[in-house]
Structure 1
């Protein structure tokens, strides 16, 4: 039986709850995007902003009129302000240590930038801390809250394309930072079904460094989900997958093929195509939402769950499933073999280890 995920259901109203004390650690560009959601939720009282650049924290304070206290040491802020919820908007290698600091300080909820962390072991450690302390940990996979993605989940759940058979997954380069959105989108379309095995390869014609984590410039492979659905992944240059007159190209998103039709949706829920074989006149409705709307939905939902105790739509458990696929791709390259999930036997990033060992030397 298909069980509708939370974001397929009717938009919820605010949960009656007291005001929550909110703080930011990292006050750069992404903090400004999260702050849009915070400003939209009157249950959030921003009490502290922390950044090694005091000017960045002051700029965020002024831009949104928070009137929060400014710190350059996040541990000092946690001790003095005792926030209920913290936004971590930092580079990837800082996610685990700063989340640990928040959990140890008694923070009730952490809304962290994606990806989870740079290695599989660190991702698991974040999950362990969240489970052990009860700190609600979510990641900014805000595209789940796009109106179009909610529509696709509903259409699939209502059987408009029949039984799902396979998917084509598209992502810009860097599986860790971008691919996590695509894998999360795919699993959300199937009621959170996890992956079963992965066979992958990476392109190291160039290597990138995003947020102080090295990455490939492309990745290609195949995976099977636990429900038997197969998927092919295409990840590479945005120029390669940029929309053109050839409508078969999706630079970031998912094509879902079923027994009775198919639907194509971009990352942000833009439905670019849909066919029902028995009814050529059928067209899936187009619903667009801005990044601002998505961030508002993400923050509102996280605060709702903090008040109600429900598992968030973008919980650490779901981020772990998407992250596991990414590290399985890298491990498949290292083993030159198909990799079964759940992962076992390593805690590093196979890609980083291979890169440091000179395996990709031209």
Structure 2
């Protein structure tokens, strides 16, 4: 069995601990590596030394750094998890790839701009670094169950995928990734959308919208629809419409109704624990086998493209054909130019 040294950038504080500003995702990553044979945590880095020391003590990590670049240079880790806020992802992922890391597993969303997302993907392709993003919901039971029902033809030919939740950038990246997951990661080829912003909404320090509407088309003639933000509910997390029926995913259940059914068939699929660990086990397996990870940069980039194409559609006031060629964040441009709140 291959042996891999692992380092973590951005330990932060544990979720809901005093002074915590995030979800403590580095802790989930550490627990994932500890549960994965062949992985050894060798170092961690955080700009707040006491956070890094507490994290290292909790997970028996032998060395602690304040400067992640020093850690990369001295430790030469095989795998690096980047658990910082999205504004720092691009520079850190690129530094890891150039330092010789075999794999980088980064938190989502990819980045605040589309150009940064593309830079990470392109750099890692050039250096031969396996780049993945923590869209761990692909490993949650209810979403796998729904995907399997689609594959088994339970609702006939797939027609449309719908979802609703919070903002596009942070939580929308999960939902678009899952709609892609249901549709066998078929690429989208156009997007039309609109966004509205009132107030100072942010996700991990990045400006986001208050409401968004996103309608898009896949190359296999399936449609996607997202209603995000205030007043977003469609009555479920996801709705999957086929030629012969409907599937609704709404934690903790999945329900299905097909032509001729008098009522819904309901399945309890509430378990969500361990999805980050299963994701990490997948990326380590992919690194060993050379097969594409379920959490690959290619798949994350596809979801990210729909997000930024939605913003670009709002800026252009028209449909956006893919692939998307912009580098900026159109929402931020509209905010700066007082075109949106």
| Shorter-chain TM-score tier | over 0.9
Alpha-carbon distance, 1:144 to partner: 0.2
CA distance 1:184–1:142, change in 2 (3 Å): same
Alpha-carbon distance, 1:281 to partner: 6.3
What is residue 92 of structure 1 aligned with on the other side? 86
Listed as ranges, the matches of 1:49-60 within 5 Å are 49-60=44-55
Q: How far apart, in 1, do the equivalents of 2:210 and 2:105 lie?
A: 28
2:117 to 114, 123, 146: 123
Aligned 8 A contact 2:44 2:61 in 1: no
What is residue 20 of structure 2 aligned with on the other side? none
1:264 to 236, 248, 255: 248
SS in 2 for 1:177: coil
Q: How far apart, in 1, do the equivalents of 2:235 and 2:265 lie?
A: 19
What is residue 21 of structure 1 aligned with on the other side? 5
Matched, 1:351 2:331: yes
Q: How far apart, in 2, do the equivalents of 1:282 and 1:214 lie?
A: 40
Deviations 1:275-310 (A, max 9, x none): 1223446725333322x4101100100110111111
Deviations 1:41-61 (A, max 9, x none): 132100001000111111212
Q: How far apart, in 2, do the equivalents of 1:45 and 1:309 lie?
A: 20
Alpha-carbon distance, 1:241 to partner: 4.9
Alpha-carbon distance, 1:115 to partner: 0.8
What is residue 255 of structure 2 aligned with on the other side? 273
Alpha-carbon distance, 1:206 to partner: 2.5
SS in 1 for 2:197: strand
Q: CA RMSD in A?
A: 1.6
What is residue 212 of structure 2 aligned with on the other side? 219
Q: How far apart, in 1, do the equivalents of 2:164 and 2:263 lie?
A: 27
What is residue 249 of structure 1 aligned with on the other side? 235
TM-score, length basis structure 2 = 0.93
Listed as ranges, the matches of 1:101-112 within 5 Å are 101-112=95-106
2:29 to 5, 19, 34: 34
Q: How far apart, in 2, do the equivalents of 1:270 and 1:138 lie?
A: 27
What is residue 325 of structure 1 aligned with on the other side? 306
CA distance 1:135–1:279, change in 2 (3 Å): same
Alpha-carbon distance, 1:232 to partner: 2.1
1:229 to 219, 222, 225: 222
CA distance 1:41–1:115, change in 2 (3 Å): same
Give 5+ residue unaligned stretches, structure 2.
Answer: 13-23
What is residue 18 of structure 2 aligned with on the other side? none
What is residue 21 of structure 2 aligned with on the other side? none
What is residue 17 of structure 2 aligned with on the other side? none
Listed as ranges, the matches of 1:177-188 within 5 Å are 177-188=170-181
Q: How far apart, in 2, do the equivalents of 1:105 and 1:159 lie?
A: 46
What is residue 190 of structure 1 aligned with on the other side? 183
Give 5+ residue unaligned stretches, structure 1.
Answer: 1-16, 243-247
